[in-house]
Structure 1
């Protein structure tokens, strides 16, 4: 008979197990790719510590530009992984963000946040918000702590983006920015939600476990479509929602799109769907034609004229 020490009380395939004695076993190993500050590469990267306690960090990406005085759009990127795996330092996300930075010619801040279930929600939101506030320090005349942002970022063209759980967090960051007494309303012009992890009117087992203080299915962090008054106050001009035809979360993205479009929000929301593909295909098959097409659509979004 299996001892209580090895008794599993919660298991999410490819994510984690929780044992009766409280142990947590991660079922997916996240690798680590070091940053590169080689001036010969198309995109340089480096890691920065935002906060020592709790430890919050980020990886910065800077494209090689021919004009050192040119100010570039700034992308704040938030990785996915069901709130519980992956990081901006993994090979998957390092390669993806680096490729996007090169194609779109933007600077990127890729956020590292504490993962569930070791750290319950709202840890991922609070860590991401700490990075948002750190970024905002640079918006006032280039007086922030990071030279790459001071020298190269255009703080009139800041974008939020993320995929899966990272898209969920990106939306929550925009909600917080919309309610903050700061400069975000003059900074953030757009947001990309790529195959977002949102809930619906049915309880989500993972969410209920990692967010013990949740109000349930109507929690605006997991089900923003149920709160049109919050959507109506978002402080950006344009939102792009990306879905995949065979994604198990496909309908959640469409529901968000419809809710934002009918909320009374004053911006423009667009949706693009990739046929025949499943969840986060752009990460699993980065070299395929459809992944390349989607990246071009996202890069184009960052470089459109979003108005003054």
Structure 2
């Protein structure tokens, strides 16, 4: 992976897509050396030098302790979405437990968002925290248009004990990062939210609860829930060419293209 010193605009190295999406290029950049934060940026084909592109800031899943922005499944997903949406994608590589316990994942993602200035967020628990910070303390020069949560985790499951273990400085089961209160939801710094859930996912009820809580919070934006019936957690990554996975990708792209 080619690295720059502290700027994402220096010394890029472009990659060939793993499955060709015409015209999409990617490059790896270093956002910060201390703490170590990097990203993979996907750039669609440019036909007009004055053309404006939607920008997607993507936070990969993995339970705060696994996966990577550079993993083949995320490279393929970003490559596909970049091609179909005509969007620049910044896929952030944040610190993982045990080398860097929570809240490293939140702080690294926030540092990347501040340096990149991107207006659309995708991911789960971490993305919510970023949108809350934007709405609470602001992000000068940046307008966050929307947030996409894919099979998100927000407490209320057996995963809670693991989250608490990975986060030494936590507020217990009512920690606002684990279980966002209504006052935090009301401050989300975006205009619209799309939440994906899968019927057979153990986090199905969690995503639906977030959807209902957001609607009741007093937040002034638009929220939509999209459920994939008969499917498991992150099925769209395991079998990206399946009919239901294509539906998820198409919905993801259509949400990005909304005015």
Deviation at 1:231, TM superposition (A): 0.7
**What SS does structure 2 have at the residue aligned with 1:58?**
strand
- Residue 136 of structure 2 corresponds to 179
Q: Distance in 2 between matches of 1:37 and 1:97?
A: 13
Listed one character per residue, the Cα deviations across residues 163-184 of structure 1 (whole Å, up to 9, x for unaligned) are xxxx111111111111224326
Q: Distance in 2 between matches of 1:242 and 1:203?
A: 19
**What SS does structure 2 have at the residue aligned with 1:269?**
strand
Q: Contact conserved, 1:78 with 1:169, CA < 8 A, in 2?
A: yes
Indicate which of 178, 203, 207 corresponds to 1:222: 178
Deviation at 1:223, TM superposition (A): 1.1
In structure 2, relative to structure 1, the CA distance for the partners of 1:35 and 1:286 (3 Å cut) is farther
In structure 2, relative to structure 1, the CA distance for the partners of 1:42 and 1:257 (3 Å cut) is same
Q: Distance in 2 between matches of 1:60 and 1:187?
A: 19
Count of aligned pairs: 244
Structure holding more strand per residue: 1
- Residue 80 of structure 1 corresponds to 61
Q: Distance in 2 between matches of 1:283 and 1:201?
A: 22
Unaligned runs of 5+ in 2: 1-12
Return the TM-score normalized by structure 2: 0.90
- Residue 28 of structure 2 corresponds to 47
The residue correspondences of 1:1-308 to structure 2 (distance < 5 A) are 35-36=14-15, 41-136=22-117, 158-162=119-123, 167-183=124-140, 187-200=143-156, 204-224=160-180, 227-305=181-259
Listed one character per residue, the Cα deviations across residues 57-111 of structure 1 (whole Å, up to 9, x for unaligned) are 0000001132221101100000011111111111111111111111111100000
Q: Distance in 2 between matches of 1:203 and 1:161?
A: 21
> CA RMSD for the aligned pairs?
1.8
Q: Distance in 1 between matches of 2:125 and 2:80?
A: 22
Bigger CA radius of gyration: 1
Q: Distance in 2 between matches of 1:203 and 1:68?
A: 47
In structure 2, relative to structure 1, the CA distance for the partners of 1:246 and 1:181 (3 Å cut) is closer
**What SS does structure 1 have at the residue aligned with 2:172?**
coil
In structure 2, relative to structure 1, the CA distance for the partners of 1:86 and 1:202 (3 Å cut) is closer
Return the TM-score normalized by structure 1: 0.76
